[in-house]
Amino acid sequence: MKKLPLKVPNFIVLTFTPILALLFVPWYGFTVGFDGFELAVFAFYMVATGLAITAGYHRLWSHRAYEAHWSVRLWHAVWGACAMQNSILHWCADHRQHHRFVDDNDRDPYSAPRGFWHSHMGWIIRKQNIYTDDFANVKDLQRDPIVIWQNKYYIPLTVATNVGVPLALGWWHGALWGTLLLAGLLRLVLNHHFTFFINSLAHMWGRQTYTDINTARDNGLIAILTYGEGYHNYHHLFQWDYRNGVRWWQFDPTKWVIRLCAWLGLATQLRRPPAHQIEKARVSMQLKRALAHLEHAPEPDAWRTRLEEAHRQFLVALDEFSRFRQELVLAKEKLQQQLDRDRQEMKKRYAELRTELARRRQAWRQLLAELSGLELARA
């Protein structure tokens, strides 16, 4: 295949930042050392930029998995620029193209079948003609003024957050170069490649828990490095879910942050599929894996019949349970609505009776007062 021309700025950044980090971070650490302040700034930068990509670029803007307050969107826009993975519009256009044509070498920007190197970063440093820059697949995002603002001022934001802020903090603390090396350089390299692992390793290494129609995998180790994005097989089947780690024990800090924002009133309309759809997908994959092992089992035809029948009965029971649970929810809602109406009627009747009682009490007191005046006159 003919090599496409290089994107020189991308090539320079992705080639020289790791080299500089490997050379200068250890050297500075051994010769000068890093203190707690520098490490704290590094940790903050790692989390802020990482979550800006996962909770902002990915789940909020690419998949519209929830809605966020303007302050949350602004925060993710600023720190997303600091991550240096392009503007929201460019990033989401690439990502939506990937999901629409996953594993299609001609239309998926970072198609995994083209190899680790291509899906990891090769697609970033070489020009591709997979789509035009008219942002046709992100027209909804062009109605967000924060997205447009970030796209317009992406370069100044990138320079300010990657160089300006670390230098200012380092100067204020008295450790200018240490802060810049950790928060600016090392963090940038780690943030880049941890994110790139989703496009490469998460399509090559792990379990296909929910679907095998594409190369996406669930990988708990990658989830740790990417704030929960490693459950990629689930994500490709239920891409609009605000969660990636759907099981309670799965490490997904991004979904916890989104839930926290919702609790604070900063996020709404958190989307998630019905639980029975998720279980159906998981059980169907279990059936596929079981059937694949039948060639090593005695009486494979009998086992196939038993497996398929048990699977069918399980799905019937799951559908019936899900249907009844939905009916129960609707019944509870209807009952609650009736209770609310009854409560309102009772409150109204209570107010009417209380008013009537007060009126009758006043009339009684007035009558007694008249009688008392009458007796006094006779005396």
Residue 36 pLDDT greater than 60, yes or no: yes
Q: How confident is the model at residue 130 (pLDDT cuts 50, 70, 90)?
A: low
Closest CA to 90 of 156, 138, 123, 130: 138
Residue 134 pLDDT greater than 80, yes or no: no
Are 282 and 246 in a shared domain?
no
Q: How confident is the model at residue 131 (pLDDT cuts 50, 70, 90)?
A: low
pLDDT at position 5: 77
What contacts 322, CB < 8 A, 6 or more positions away? 274, 275, 276
What contacts 180, CB < 8 A, 6 or more positions away? 163, 166, 167, 170
DSSP lists the bridge partners of residue 317 as none
Identity at 2, one-letter amino acid code: K
pLDDT at position 321: 86
Are 111 and 21 in a shared domain?
yes
Residue 38 pLDDT greater than 80, yes or no: yes
pLDDT at position 149: 97
Are 130 and 255 in a shared domain?
yes
Residue 81 pLDDT greater than 90, yes or no: yes
| In a domain? residue 3 | no
pLDDT at position 133: 64
Q: How confident is the model at residue 311 (pLDDT cuts 50, 70, 90)?
A: confident
Are 269 and 301 in a shared domain?
no
Average confidence score pLDDT of the chain: 91
- What CA–CA distance (Å, rounded) separates 341 from 111? 56
Given 233, 256, 273, which residue is the final one in a domain?
273
DSSP lists the bridge partners of residue 268 as 67
User: φ and ψ at 349, to 5 degrees?
Assistant: -65, -35
CB of 232 closer than 8 Å to CB of 206: yes
Residue 332 pLDDT greater than 60, yes or no: yes
201 secondary structure, DSSP code:
G
Question: Which range (30-39, 215-224, 292-301, 310-319) has the least confidence?
Answer: 292-301
Are 250 and 308 in a shared domain?
no
| In a domain? residue 379 | yes
| In a domain? residue 127 | yes
Average the pLDDT over 194-220 and give the result: 95
Residue 41 pLDDT greater than 70, yes or no: yes
Are 303 and 250 in a shared domain?
no
pLDDT at position 126: 82
- 126: phi > 0 → left, psi -120 to 50 → alpha, else beta; which? beta
| In a domain? residue 1 | no
Average the pLDDT over 264-277 and give the result: 95
Q: Which domain holds residue 281?
A: 274-379
DSSP-based three-state secondary structure for 328: helix
- What CA–CA distance (Å, rounded) separates 376 from 216? 98
The token pair at 44 is 């903050």
| Type and span of the H or E element at 268 | strand 267-268
Q: How confident is the model at residue 201 (pLDDT cuts 50, 70, 90)?
A: very high
Identity at 25, one-letter amino acid code: V
Q: For the chain, what percent of residues have pLDDT higher than 70?
A: 96
Are 268 and 285 in a shared domain?
no
pLDDT at position 232: 97
Q: For the chain, what percent of residues have pLDDT higher than 90?
A: 72
What contacts 53, CB < 8 A, 6 or more positions away? 80, 83, 85, 191, 195
| In a domain? residue 126 | yes
pLDDT at position 2: 60
Question: Domains in the chain: how many in total?
Answer: 2
User: φ and ψ at 68, to 5 degrees?
Assistant: -130, 150
Are 257 and 350 in a shared domain?
no
Residue 70 pLDDT greater than 80, yes or no: yes
Residue 250 pLDDT greater than 60, yes or no: yes
Given 273, 291, 311, which residue is the final one in a domain?
273
296 compared with 235, residue with greater pLDDT: 235
- 165: phi > 0 → left, psi -120 to 50 → alpha, else beta; which? alpha
DSSP-based three-state secondary structure for 223: helix
pLDDT at position 377: 58
141 secondary structure, DSSP code:
G
- What CA–CA distance (Å, rounded) separates 275 from 291? 25
Are 324 and 180 in a shared domain?
no
Average the pLDDT over 255-266 and give the result: 97
Question: Which range (169-183, 297-311, 330-344) has the least confidence?
Answer: 297-311
pLDDT at position 61: 98
Q: What is the DSSP secondary-structure string of 278-328?
A: HHHHHHHHHHHHHHHTGGGSSSHHHHHHHHHHHHHHHHHHHHHHHHHHHHH
| In a domain? residue 302 | yes
The token pair at 51 is 């979550």
What contacts 307, CB < 8 A, 6 or more positions away? 287, 290, 291, 294
| In a domain? residue 207 | yes
Residue 183 pLDDT greater than 80, yes or no: yes
Question: Which range (8-22, 127-141, 230-244) has the least confidence?
Answer: 127-141
Average the pLDDT over 172-200 and give the result: 95
- What CA–CA distance (Å, rounded) separates 54 from 105? 25
pLDDT at position 226: 96
Are 165 and 197 in a shared domain?
yes
Given 220, 240, 273, which residue is the final one in a domain?
273
pLDDT at position 95: 95
Q: What is the DSSP secondary-structure string of 56-67?
A: IIIIIIIT--SE
Q: How confident is the model at residue 240 (pLDDT cuts 50, 70, 90)?
A: very high
**pLDDT tens digits for range 95-128:** 999 999 999 988 899 999 999 999 999 899 987 7
Which residue, chain included where needed, has tokens 């350089």?
185
What contacts 205, CB < 8 A, 6 or more positions away? 217, 219, 222
Closest CA to 76 of 90, 64, 60: 60
pLDDT at position 375: 61
Are 81 and 203 in a shared domain?
yes
User: Ranked by mean pLDDT, which of 9-13, 38-42, 102-106 comes out on top?
Assistant: 38-42
94 secondary structure, DSSP code:
H
Are 268 and 189 in a shared domain?
yes
